[in-house]
Amino acid sequence: MRKRLGVVVPYRDREQHLAEFLATVPSFLSESPRCEHVTARILIVEQVPGKPFNRGALCNVGARILGDSVDYICLHDVDTLPVDADYSWPEQPSMIVVHGLKFGAELARKLFGTVVLIQQAQFIAANGFSNEYWDWGFEDVDLRERLLRCGFRPGHREGTFRSLPHPDLGSNPDGTPSEQFKVNQAIYLARWLEAVPGGWRRQPNPSDRWRRDGLNSIQFYTVRPRKTLSGETPHGILTESIAVDFAPPPHDEADRPPPTMEPSTDQS
């Protein structure tokens, strides 16, 4: 039986990246032997100007729009293009890019973002992404924690991708973490980890806030209706775009300890 894949691309202000994405990904999906039994479609979800970028919320919008028209989704950054990758059906949630990122394979295997495959039912069970990580960072590892709490086993596939040049929005020009990075880090640490001598560990009984913040609470409205990018994707892959906006949800101050803590890489 063929599986139906929906590629969700959160997007804003990356015209050149989008052009390269559309010139690469549809043809890769249509020609890859690993996708022989996959029917793929692509949805570009654009956030209009006016608010800080919210990658997680845009992915929630895309998953909501695609709904039961797909069996699984690929949460795909627009600036990361496949060279040798496996987009086929995932039994467990899988980050499929390990090689080709600027920070190397060892660190990539500790992360869970950039290009991720997940069954639609698993994404729904985890309530998708949090909607409360604005601007840059930590929405992806927050999703991993949600999946773990649902009993899933997020993992990796040894894919090779090409990373297009883009600014590091999590850092200041001098290399120090940006203020929004610190804010998002503080939210993540407060929700999922607890301090122990020498580092951090996962909270054994975290708040169930994640069950109320995510796919089931995303509120958005359409600014430009969904349209088909027919002339730009000549490979038989249905590719659409939609532009949306949403109101920033209020942060719970209990989720925001002073953003001065540094997590260790050991979260076991």
Range of the domain at 36: 3-167+210-251
pLDDT of residue 251: 52
C-alpha to C-alpha distance for 89 and 44, rounded to whole angstroms: 21
CB crowding 66-86: b at 16 or more within 10 Å, else e:
beeebbbbbbbbbbbbbeebb
230 in a domain, yes or no?
yes
- DSSP string for 167-216: --TTB-TTSSBPHHHHHHHHHHHHHHEEEETTEEEE-SS--GGGGTSSTT
pLDDT of residue 110: 82
146 in a domain, yes or no?
yes
260 in a domain, yes or no?
no
Overall number of domains in the chain = 1
Q: What is the CATH number of the domain that holds 145?
A: 3.90.550.10
pTM of this prediction?
0.88
pLDDT of residue 184: 94
pLDDT of residue 153: 97
How confident is the chain (268 residues) per 10-residue block, as mean pLDDT?
95 95 94 92 96 96 97 97 97 94 80 94 98 92 96 95 79 76 93 92 93 96 89 76 78 42 38
